[in-house]
Homo-oligomer: A and B are copies of this chain.
Amino acid sequence: MEALVTGVAQMGPIQKIDSRAAVVRRMLALLAEAKARGCRFVVFPELALTTFFPRWVYEPGEPALDAWFEDAMPGPETRPLFDAAAAAGIGFYLGYAEKAGNRRFNTAILVDGTGRIVGKYRKVHLPGHAEPDPSRLGEHLEKRYFHVGDLGFPVFETMGAKIGMCICNDRRWPETYRVMGLQGVELIALGYNTPTGLGEPYQAAAQANMHNELSLRAGAYQNATWVAAAAKCGVEGGYPMIGQSMIVSPLGEVVAMAATLEDELITARCDMKLAAYARTEIFNFARHRRPEAYALITDRVGAGEPVVPSRAQMGLDDA
């Protein structure tokens, strides 16, 4: 329950030919700027070490696919990032493709100011498809390459705050934020790669930034938590992705936002006490929530038939 000066390290495009070493050099530059600007915590994007490879079609198990995944964390290429962050006393969130035995996850780790991995999250809401469809304007094959995350939405007490994580599409689902809100989360870190132009033209392109902002602000407000969201953005392999990395206050206001589609650091002083009034009154969950009315949220996966009370239950005269 104190203030954590937080940086969001937006990253511009990473092309297929860019080496991890080259990417980590860019991250080190962002980290150095974060240190100079007083940050104690930095959020890097989803799958931050490589291009967004789920746009390309691979067969499961083929070496070219496997090459996008990390064998170890930290590994030889990422060790310099851990070392530099620990030397600066800065913790960070990092998204990467994780090998876990025979399973593969879209993963983020939480590293504290000493370089220790204190938490892990594996993406629950995988968007897109498992099968390629050449009739689409572009592929989004996360359901093909990743298993569904098996760690829930844990919240970790570290760096003087209660920090949760999610990844990209998770941010559009109110359940994501609420499960962490019910653990008292104070700051949610997330990275994203959000392509535009792959789907129905109006929704997918014209509204992508609006939906990003709406999702992040609603999750923050409704759970009285800071949200720090880092994009990988710009044009990768001919495909555009949104930027608009932002830090949102527990009152749902955007307090910092990226102005480019390139490597760019934004910062805010995240005071965990800012949400105290909201947690005591309007979003005092213990006083106001009514789980007996929420059963469908965990009982159903997809939408089903309406559940309608009888006219007698509703006290209607003809009952």
> Could you tell me which A residues sit within 8 Å of B by CB distance?
72, 98, 100, 117, 119-120, 124-127, 148-157, 162, 169, 172-175, 177-179, 181-184, 199-200, 202-203, 207, 210-211, 214-215, 217-218, 221-222, 251-253, 277-279, 281-291, 293-309, 313-317
Contacts of A277 in B (CB 8 A): 199-200, 203
Contact A297 B203 (CB under 8 A): no
Q: Which residue from chain B places its CB closest to the CB of A174 in the assembled complex?
A: B174
Query: What is the minimal beta-carbon distance from A115 to any residue of chain B, in angstroms?
Result: 13
Taking a contact as CB atoms under 8 Å apart, the answer to whether A293 and B222 are in contact is: no
CA gap between A289 and B308 in the complex, in Å = 23
Closest chain-B Cβ to A89's Cβ sits at a distance in Å of 21
A295 contact set on B, CB distance < 8 A: 298
Residue of B nearest to A200 (CB): B277
**Chain B residues in 8 Å Cβ range of A155:** 306-308
Instruction: Name which residue of chain B comes closest to A125, CB basis.
Output: B288
Listed from nearest, the 8 A-B pairs whose CB atoms lie closest are A286-B302, A218-B218, A174-B174, A120-B314, A155-B306, A200-B277, A183-B306, A182-B296
Say yes or no: A288-B211 contact (C-beta < 8 A), given A157-B306, A294-B175, A297-B182. Answer: no
What residue in chain B is nearest A74 (Cβ atoms)?
Answer: B317
CA distance A215 to B184 in the complex (A): 21
